[in-house]
Amino acid sequence: MSLIVLDASVAVKWFLHGKGETLADEAFALLDRYVKDEVRFLVPDLFWVEFANVMWKAVRLGRFPKALADAALATLTQYDFPTFPTVNLLSKAFEIATTYDRTVYDSIYVALAVQSKAQLVTADERLANSLAAHFPVKWLGAI
């Protein structure tokens, strides 16, 4: 079974997959692999906050009804992904961020992938392109 550090940008696509949402099919295919026990997802505790923030923004912009955002949060938390504290990843994340000019937020996910000997899957193509040569980072559109 493969270990995957799941970026919030991928999980969001399971819920905000309206017209024109890119990579929704790829995100659902990855979720299907999880449901079939072909992969196991790991997340930093930051994942939950980032996901909720995207839902909040979608509600605020009128892109998603609050009731559906509430349901999305409830559904996602039922998956009970193993969650790792960011405080334990902070030093490595800061090193990655300062060396490769990436945000500490993004680097937390990369640090978890390195620590767990897993692959980070992200819908952020710029992040994947900037770090894939140095770390186990894969763009969702390439899987």
pLDDT per residue over 75-129, tens digit each?
999 999 999 999 999 999 999 999 999 999 999 999 999 999 999 999 999 999 9
What secondary structure letter does DSSP report for 81? -
Please provide the CATH number assigned to the domain covering 2-142: 3.40.50.1010
State the pTM of this model.
Answer: 0.94
Q: Of 103, 23, 20, 12, whose CA–CA distance to 57 is shortest?
A: 12
Residue 26, C-beta contacts closer than 8 angstroms, at least 6 positions apart: 140, 141, 143
Two structure tokens written together for 55? 């839902």
- Predicted pLDDT of residue 112: 98
